[in-house]
């Protein structure tokens, strides 16, 4: 019971007009304006992707034919030509990169995820891997130049492959570690309980179960490596010939690659070369998209688009599961 | 009586080899002094004897250490870095916590079924065959797998879909698959850590009946938080508890004996109180 | 480790269990040792990269010393080497890219997390943005040369003619230049900034959002006054990571920045960056120039390393602050 009327507060009545929506009110205007601005910016952000894809298709499909696989790159005033050797070169060097980075990366990831997740060496290694993801691709090339080209005295496909593997390793490690951590603890318990040595738990249960995630990571690394130019510029250089010229396979020589071809041709004043650059770009982007689809088919859940963004996400979220010790 | 043997295929002459005849009734003797997780004393001074071809149940309130003790039997607790075991655990007369014993070898001889069904992410067939392949079984694998699934009471439901992934089964089926997997290598002892707690009553019933059949051949130790389950399946019951009225957190064995006796005529007050539901 | 003895216990004749064989135990220990070695290998790899590049940079460092960092000319014939214009170009292009790409990136993150679209459309949109990161750098360069530059040239010419008194617009866009390079760079770092910012915004507990809306804020009042401040550390980290990415980007810049060693504020003038310098000069470089390039390489390495480590640290610290 309110006794003191002196303390009673004057209440204003709420009128209908106060409650109704009013677009012209300053707060609503501001809100609406920013909404519109956001929509515009969001759509603008999508625009480059569509522009790139559309241009690739329009300009790249002009020269799309089997000759791109079978013919060699044209020299200055030549017409026609293809880039079969560049495709082969890219495949070979990415293959070398995979051969070096995948086993090494998976083994390290095993230690990080399972054998010593909380140890100091694991924390240091994770830090190093994350730091290496930020390594500029040109410096991977500089490193391979210093470590391999100067040593062997020649530009070569393996030098290019080593440069690529440097870029692939952090990706493989971080994604493989994530994939292995996702294997449920109870499944690992079951493997231990049935009498597996720790290695058997890893090889018979953890790795097979984590395989889709590991493969996704490998595909990501491959997709990125296939498109890299800078690491190859002065390790594998370029070549206008097939890798297996003259009846024998010679890898210790300058090797062509798709990315370097695009780079070289884009700077030339010849329409022929420029057209081929577009076609090669179309082919490259197409390969990347196909790899994405393959990894989705293999993957168990929707990891989104397989790009470096995924790795960066993992770098962040991997901090969150720092509460499990038992 | 405690002897260890060298070598993997031949046996040394000289030491006595324990055989079944040496252990007429007791398969496992747990003599626990202290169990630690880091600085935390989880279990103290408990001694449990698990007899052959019987079902022994560990009951008690949550946090009393019954799962911890069960997991000591196959050295599963070793996986936890901070765990320390003080005492003896005799398996067929051999102290398996001796420093010369390989825990992996111990686990090959003891099967375990966990609280959450945990089949491997492979086909049903491969799940059951897993232990057999691990032990390099040279005989007819398919027969063994079928035999195992039959004893687990799962064969009729999965015989047409052995290639399906084990995780595609229902919860109760997955647990029976885990049982089939555990018994495929014919271990003499089967440990079950609250095997029915994640299952519905019908699946629970099926597994309880299964346990009663399995005890003809296997020695079973089961942890359960369900007293009625203990009365239904167990021959002997061990009641663990913490000093609940003194605010203690260290578990210990309060009472151990034939199930009928523990439930109808408990010797300890704490047991009486637990059974009558005064705490759980 | 003490030699382990194997126990063979003979009980039930039916059991098929055997203890692990010597080979299995050996494989177990060997495999574990091997994984440890690979983990160590990663650490050594990072140091080896630093060592190898640093070692090759030492001759040039001895020769030029710190004047390398402030000299403006790069002339292989005269033996004059200096990377000040390239440092300037690297920083200028990266900050421009961060300004544009960062703004767009955070906006996209807001767009994707603050209920602007129904969920299935959000997923599609998110994938589109992430696809931007799947396009190789060299393809962006190609697109930049043949699509972007012709597109923006008319606008830039107009701005230059009318506003050339502003230092940013003091030259005309002849082709490659700072602006096209920065624009493409912005497109390339947008997905990174967007993704990390999204995670920050999504990590905000729902109850915070409830509290804001419960007070009667409009959507944007809630975003600007509550959501962004709460996520600010994570967004800052996103921007630093984006910056790190921009600093290290090579190809698109090599193809679009114009490769002219000058320092200028003009957005339309060609310039050069450290990465582009390396990309362009290395293949043809003689011995002396190569040493100078190695010096430039180590500087680039240091700059990107520092920025990336700081970005990582920020992300790590802010994710700890997120609470339970």
Q: What is the mean pLDDT of each run of 10 residues along chain C (324 residues)?
A: 39 71 92 95 94 88 81 77 87 93 94 88 88 90 92 87 80 86 94 90 87 85 87 87 88 89 85 90 84 90 89 77 49
State the pLDDT at residue B5: 38
Poorest-pLDDT segment among A103-117, A161-175, B250-264, C219-233: C219-233
* Residue A214 contacts residue A176 (beta carbons within 8 Å): yes
Mean pLDDT of A299-315: 67
Using CB atoms within 10 Å of the CB of residue A128, give its burial: 0 to 12 exposed, 13 to 18 middle, 19+ buried.
buried
Q: Does A266 touch chain C (CB under 8 A)?
A: yes
Position B12 pLDDT exceeds 50: no
User: What residue ranges do the domains of chain A occupy?
Assistant: 24-63, 66-317
Closest CA to C314 of C246, C242, C218, C241: C241
CB contact under 8 A, A192 and B107: yes
Mutating which of A115, A118, A119, A190 best tests the B interface, going by the most B Cβ atoms within 10 A? A190
Judge whether B7 is closer than 8 Å to chain C, CB to CB.
Answer: yes
State whether residue C14 sits within 8 Å of chain B by CB. yes
Residue A41: the pLDDT is 93
Containing H/E element for B40?
A: strand B40-51
Between chains, do A325 and B81 touch, taking CB under 8 Å as contact? yes
Taking contacts as CB-CB distances below 8 angstroms, the residues of chain A near B116 are: 186
For B128-171, how does the pLDDT look when each residue is reduced to its tens digit (9 = 90+)?
999 999 998 888 999 999 999 998 889 999 999 999 999 999 98
DSSP character at residue C271? B
- State the pLDDT at residue A325: 32
CB contact under 8 A, B130 and A194: yes
| Rounded Cα distance, A228 and A90, in Å | 10
Cβ contacts from A onto C, under 8 A: 288
The overall average pLDDT reported for chain C is 85
Residue C246 has a CB neighbour count (10 Å cut-off) of 28
Mutation for testing the A interface, residue in C189, C251, C304 having most A CBs under 10 Å: C251
SS3 assignment, position C8: coil
Contact between chains at A190 and B135 (C-beta distance less than 8 A): no
Say how far apart CA A163 and CA A148 lie, in whole Å. 9
The stretches of A12-154 forming alpha helices (DSSP H) are 16-19, 26-60, 67-70, 84-110, 120-133, 137-144, 150-152
B183 touches chain A (CB under 8 A): no
CA distances from C184 to C94, C128, C131, C220 (A): 11, 17, 15, 29
Among A316, A317, A319, A322, the residue to mutate for chain C (most C Cβ within 10 A): A316
Whether A22 and chain C come into contact, CB under 8 Å, resolves to no
CB A157 within 8 A of CB A255: yes
**Strand-strand pairing, B94-95 and B83-91:** antiparallel
Count the Cβ atoms, other than its own, within 10 Å of residue A309.
24
Is C119 within the bounds of a domain?
yes
Contact A308, A97 (CB under 8 A): no
CATH number at residue C116: 1.10.3720.10
pLDDT at A95 over 90: yes
Name the residue among C282, C279, C203 with its Cα closest to residue C237.
C203
Phi, psi (rounded to 5 degrees) for C209: -65, -45
Structure tokens at B161: 């879909």
Distance from CA of B74 to the nearest CA of A (A): 8
pTM score, whole prediction: 0.85
How many whole angstroms from its chain centre is CA C155?
A: 29
Is some CB atom of chain C closer than 8 A to the CB atom of B97? no
C50 in any annotated domain? no
CATH class entry, domain A66-317 = mainly alpha
CA distance A244 to chain C (A): 24
Residue whose tokens read 């969150």: A320
Asked if residue C183 belongs to a domain, the reply is yes
Instruction: Give the domain range for residue C93.
Output: 81-320
d(CA B221, CA C60): 74
Percent of chain A topping pLDDT 90:
47
Residue scoring higher pLDDT (A240 or C196): C196
Q: How far apart are the first and last CA of chain B?
A: 41
Judge: A187–B76 Cβ closer than 8 Å, yes or no.
no
Instruction: For residues B53 and B233, give the distance between their C-alpha atoms in angstroms, rounded to a whole number.
Output: 13
**CA distance to partner chain A, nearest, from residue B255 (Å):** 28
- Could A326 and B108 be called an inter-chain contact, meaning their C-beta atoms sit closer than 8 Å? no
Asked if the Cβ–Cβ distance from B102 to C19 is below 8 Å, we say yes
Mutate to test the interface with B, among C2, C4, C8, C31 (most CBs of B within 10 A): C8
Record: contact C4-B94, CB cut-off 8 A: no
As a whole number, mean pLDDT of residues A226-246 equals 82
**ipTM for the complex?**
0.85
pLDDT at A317: 61
User: Is C59 part of a structural domain of the chain?
Assistant: no
Contact state of C135 with A52 under an 8 Å Cβ cutoff: yes
Distances (CA, A) of A233 to A230, B142, B191, C201: 5, 57, 62, 40
Q: Taking a C-beta distance cutoff of 8 angstroms, is the pair C270, C236 a contact?
A: no
Edge-to-edge strand order for the sheet containing B189-193?
B94-95, B83-91, B26-37, B40-51, B251-258, B236-242, B55-59, B219-223, B189-193, B110-113
Give residue A318's pLDDT. 54
Interchain CB distance below 8 Å, A138 and C241: no
B20–C4: do the CB atoms touch at under 8 Å? no
Closest-CA distance, C1 to chain B, in angstroms, reads 11
Kindly state the tokens that stand for B235: 């021959």
> Which residues, other chains included, contact A43 with Cβ-Cβ below 8 Å and sequence gap of 6+?
none
Overall average pLDDT of the B41-61 stretch: 91
Residue B23 has pLDDT above 70, yes or no: no
Tell me A25's DSSP state.
S
Nearest to C301 among A59, A139, A262 (CB): A139
Conformation bin of residue B277: beta by default, left when phi > 0, alpha when psi is -120 to 50: left
Residues C160-166: contacts with CB under 8 Å, at least 24 apart: C160/C268
Determine, for residues A169 and C247 on separate chains, whether the beta-carbon distance falls below 8 Å.
no
A132 contacts A315 by C-beta, under 8 angstroms: no
Q: Measured between beta carbons, which residues in chain A are less than 8 angstroms from residue C56?
A: 146
Q: Is the CATH number 3.40.50.720 carried by domain B22-117+191-275?
A: no
The pLDDT value recorded for residue B148 is 92
Provide the number of structural domains found in chain C.
1
């Amino acid at each position: 019971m309110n006794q003191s009327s002196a303390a009673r507060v004057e209440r204003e009545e709420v009128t209908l007009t106060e409650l109704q929506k009013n677009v012209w009110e300053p707060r609503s205007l501001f809100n609406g304006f920013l909404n519109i601005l956001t929509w515009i910016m969001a759509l603008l952000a999508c625009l480059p992707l569509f522009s790139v894809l559309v241009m690739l298709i329009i300009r790249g499909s002009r020269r799309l034919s089997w000759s791109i696989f079978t013919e060699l790159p044209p020299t200055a005033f030549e017409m026609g030509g293809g880039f079969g050797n560049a495709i082969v070169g890219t495949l070979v060097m990415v293959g070398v990169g995979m051969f070096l980075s995948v086993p090494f990366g998976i083994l390290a990831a095993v230690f990080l995820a399972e054998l010593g997740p909380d140890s100091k060496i694991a924390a240091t290694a994770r830090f190093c891997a994350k730091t290496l993801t930020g390594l500029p691709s040109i410096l991977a090339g500089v490193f391979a130049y210093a470590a391999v080209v100067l040593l062997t005295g020649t530009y070569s496909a393996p030098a290019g492959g080593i440069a690529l593997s440097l870029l692939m390793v952090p990706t493989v490690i971080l994604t493989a570690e994530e994939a292995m951590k996702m294997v449920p603890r109870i499944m690992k318990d079951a493997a231990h309980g049935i009498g597996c040595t720790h290695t058997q738990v890893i090889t018979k249960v953890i790795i097979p179960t984590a395989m889709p995630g590991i493969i996704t990571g490998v595909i990501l690394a491959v997709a990125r490596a296939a498109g890299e130019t800078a690491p190859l510029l002065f390790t594998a250089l370029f070549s206008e010939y097939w890798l297996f010229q003259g009846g024998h396979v010679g890898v210790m020589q300058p090797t062509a690659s798709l990315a370097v071809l695009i780079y070289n041709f884009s700077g030339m004043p010849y329409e022929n070369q420029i057209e081929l650059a577009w076609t090669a770009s179309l082919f490259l982007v197409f390969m990347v998209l196909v790899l994405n689809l393959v990894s989705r088919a293999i993957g168990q859940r929707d990891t989104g688009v397989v790009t470096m963004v995924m790795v960066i996400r993992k770098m962040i979220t991997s901090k969150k599961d720092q509460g499990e010790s038992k | 009586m405690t002897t260890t043997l060298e070598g993997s295929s031949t046996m040394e002459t000289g030491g006595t080899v324990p055989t079944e005849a040496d252990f007429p009734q007791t398969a496992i003797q747990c003599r626990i002094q202290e169990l630690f997780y880091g600085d935390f004393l989880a279990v103290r001074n408990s001694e449990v004897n698990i007899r052959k071809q019987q079902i022994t149940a560990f009951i008690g309130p949550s946090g009393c250490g019954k799962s911890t003790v069960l997991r000591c039997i196959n050295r599963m607790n070793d996986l936890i870095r901070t765990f320390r075991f003080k005492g003896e655990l005799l398996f067929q007369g051999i102290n398996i916590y001796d420093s010369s014993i390989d825990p992996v070898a111990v686990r090959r001889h003891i099967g375990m079924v966990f609280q959450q069904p945990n089949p491997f992410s492979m086909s049903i067939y491969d799940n059951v065959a897993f232990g057999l392949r691990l032990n390099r079984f040279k005989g007819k694998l398919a027969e063994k797998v079928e035999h195992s699934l039959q004893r687990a009471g799962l064969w009729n439901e999965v015989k047409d879909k052995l290639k399906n992934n084990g995780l595609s089964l229902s919860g109760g089926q997955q647990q029976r698959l885990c049982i089939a997997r555990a018994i495929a290598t014919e271990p003499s002892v089967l440990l079950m850590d609250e095997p029915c707690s994640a299952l519905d009553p019908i699946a629970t019933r099926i597994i309880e009946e299964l346990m009663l059949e399995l005890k003809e051949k296997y020695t079973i130790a089961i942890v359960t938080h369900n007293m009625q389950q203990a009365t239904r399946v167990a021959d002997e019951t061990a009641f663990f508890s913490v000093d609940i009225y003194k605010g203690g957190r260290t578990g210990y064995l309060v009472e151990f004996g034939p199930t009928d006796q523990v439930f109808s005529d408990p010797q300890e007050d704490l047991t009486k109180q637990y059974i009558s539901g005064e705490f759980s | 480790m003490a030699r382990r003895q194997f126990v063979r216990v003979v009980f039930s004749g039916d059991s098929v269990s055997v203890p692990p064989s010597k080979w299995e135990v050996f494989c177990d220990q060997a495999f574990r040792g091997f994984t440890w070695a690979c983990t160590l290998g990663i650490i050594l790899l990072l140091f080896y990269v630093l060592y190898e590049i640093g070692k090759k940079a030492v001759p040039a460092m001895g020769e030029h010393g710190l004047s390398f960092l402030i000299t403006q000319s790069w002339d292989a014939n005269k033996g004059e080497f200096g990377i000040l214009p390239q440092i300037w170009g690297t920083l200028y292009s990266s900050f421009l890219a961060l300004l544009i790409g960062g703004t767009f990136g955070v906006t996209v993150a807001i767009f994707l997390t603050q209920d602007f679209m129904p969920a299935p459309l959000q997923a599609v949109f998110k994938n589109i943005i992430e696809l931007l990161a799947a396009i190789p750098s060299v393809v962006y360069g190609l697109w930049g040369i043949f699509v972007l530059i012709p597109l923006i040239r008319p606008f830039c010419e107009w701005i230059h003619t009318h506003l050339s008194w502003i230092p940013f617009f003091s030259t005309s866009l002849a082709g490659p230049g700072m602006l096209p390079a920065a624009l493409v760079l912005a497109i390339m770092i947008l997905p990174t900034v967007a993704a990390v910012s999204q995670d920050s915004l999504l990590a905000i507990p729902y109850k915070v959002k409830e509290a804001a809306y419960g007070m009667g804020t409009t959507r944007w009042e809630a975003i600007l006054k509550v959501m962004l401040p709460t996520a600010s550390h994570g967004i800052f980290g996103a921007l630093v990571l984006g910056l790190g990415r921009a600093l290290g980007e090579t190809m698109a810049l090599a193809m679009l920045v114009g490769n002219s060693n000058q320092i200028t504020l003009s957005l339309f003038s060609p310039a050069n960056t450290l990465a582009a310098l390396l990309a362009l000069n290395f293949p043809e470089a003689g011995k002396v120039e190569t040493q100078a390039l190695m010096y430039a390489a180590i500087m680039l390495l240091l700059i990107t390393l520092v920025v990336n480590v700081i970005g990582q640290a920020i992300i790590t610290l802010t994710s700890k602050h997120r609470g339970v």
